[in-house]
A = this chain, B = another copy of it.
Amino acid sequence: MAWNTNLRWRLPLTCLLLQVIMVILFGVFVRYDFEADAHWWSERTHKNLSDMENEFYYRYPSFQDVHVMVFVGFGFLMTFLQRYGFSAVGFNFLLAAFGIQWALLMQGWFHFLQDRYIVVGVENLINADFCVASVCVAFGAVLGKVSPIQLLIMTFFQVTLFAVNEFILLNLLKVKDAGGSMTIHTFGAYFGLTVTRILYRRNLEQSKERQNSVYQSDLFAMIGTLFLWMYWPSFNSAISYHGDSQHRAAINTYCSLAACVLTSVAISSALHKKGKLDMVHIQNATLAGGVAVGTAAEMMLMPYGALIIGFVCGIISTLGFVYLTAASWVL
């Protein structure tokens, strides 16, 4: 009984504690950056900068698209698992809301320190959303196997490791990774798989059974899939250099994603006994086109280069989904 009562207070206390810590750390460390601070107004008269040139106008629309991807896209993507549809959306909301705060701090300490303050602007918000996207990818692997508290703990560690990993890749190894294929998606997927491996070696058969998709859930999952698919060009171009780089990153992603749909459909239909389409394949594989082109999105790939990436990726990821998922139940 006492133990039960204990359990009952764990989630509320964890949430409140984490939020109080966030408030204190933000109080000590976080300030606005130059373009969000009211002092901008007085300084711009010296520098002859117009309010219209504020970074906000060049980043905010992309930020909102990324925001939709994280909360609606990743949230609804997993609703195809009928049994977990609602937790998928709800828990994703909780972990993302905590994750973006912790990411603003962690990424700030590594990349945006000025004097002793982290300065935040719209670019930080995009980066925080990127970091949380990686947690959402990992979340897909552990859905239905973890409690909200475990998710918050996982988010805490993953965001921390994400920021360290990002620092090593971008600052120490000087790697270029525009769309974050390495820092976000690969990292997220492996982190998720590792967590699953640690948490669960048993009960796999049970889980498999619950992975059946049903009609209504599939329509909800398509909402997630489509918002991820549509806004991926924004994802890959959101923090590119202004001008032609950002323009090119959007075009390349658009082309790669379109190609990926056709090859995913082809492979999914070829692998089905009756030649039908399995929407779960398509939901997963079509997104691979965006991930694959991510790292190179702002390079001079040429539209046909982007199509080739999407083409190859649609094939590999559908095959991968079919054979590796099957294999993972055997292990």
Chain A positions near chain B (C-beta within 8 angstroms): 7-16, 18-20, 22-24, 26-27, 30-32, 35-38, 40-41, 44, 51-58, 60-62, 64-65, 67-68, 71-72, 75, 79, 85-86, 89-90, 93-94, 97-98, 100-101, 104, 120-122, 125, 148, 215-216, 218-220, 222-223, 226-227, 229-231, 233-234, 241-248, 250-251, 254-255, 257-259, 261-263, 265-267, 269-270, 274-275, 277, 279, 282, 286, 300, 302-304, 307-308, 311
Cα-based distance from A61 to B15 in the complex (angstroms): 34
- Smallest Cβ distance from A20 to chain B, in angstroms? 8
Cα-based distance from A120 to B301 in the complex (angstroms): 13
Contact yes or no, B41 A244, CB < 8 A: yes
Interface of A is mostly: helix
Among the listed B38, B68, B261, which residue makes an inter-chain contact with A230, where contact means beta carbons less than 8 Å apart? Answer: B68
**Contacts A71-B230, A120-B251, A266-B15: A302 and B30 contacting too (C-beta < 8 A)?**
yes
- 10 tightest A-B contacts by CB? A51-B243, A97-B261, A15-B266, A26-B304, A8-B275, A27-B304, A12-B270, A56-B247, A12-B266, A51-B242
Cα-based distance from A54 to B215 in the complex (angstroms): 44
How many copies are assembled?
3
Cα-based distance from A31 to B304 in the complex (angstroms): 8
**Contacts A54-B243, A61-B64, A275-B9: A263 and B19 contacting too (C-beta < 8 A)?**
yes
Contact yes or no, A71 B226, CB < 8 A: yes
Contact yes or no, B57 A244, CB < 8 A: no
Contact yes or no, B303 A35, CB < 8 A: no
Nearest neighbor of A227 in chain B, beta-carbon distance: B72
Known pairs A93-B229, A120-B303. 15 more at Cβ < 8 A? A7-B275, A12-B267, A13-B266, A19-B307, A30-B304, A32-B303, A35-B247, A36-B244, A38-B244, A56-B247, A57-B57, A90-B282, A98-B261, A101-B307, A122-B251
Cα-based distance from A32 to B62 in the complex (angstroms): 21
Can you sample 7 A-B contacts with CB below 8 Å? A7-B275, A31-B302, A38-B248, A54-B244, A85-B219, A89-B226, A94-B262
Nearest neighbor of A275 in chain B, beta-carbon distance: B8
Nearest neighbor of A49 in chain B, beta-carbon distance: B243
Among the listed B36, B67, B246, B304, which residue makes an inter-chain contact with A248, where contact means beta carbons less than 8 Å apart? Answer: B36
Contacts of A216 in B (CB 8 A): 216
Cα-based distance from A38 to B277 in the complex (angstroms): 40
Cα-based distance from A90 to B225 in the complex (angstroms): 11
Contact yes or no, A122 B250, CB < 8 A: yes
Contact yes or no, B60 A218, CB < 8 A: no
Nearest neighbor of A99 in chain B, beta-carbon distance: B258
Cα-based distance from A307 to B75 in the complex (angstroms): 23
Contact yes or no, A230 B275, CB < 8 A: no
Q: Which of A67, A230, A241, A243 has the most CB of B within 10 A?
A: A243
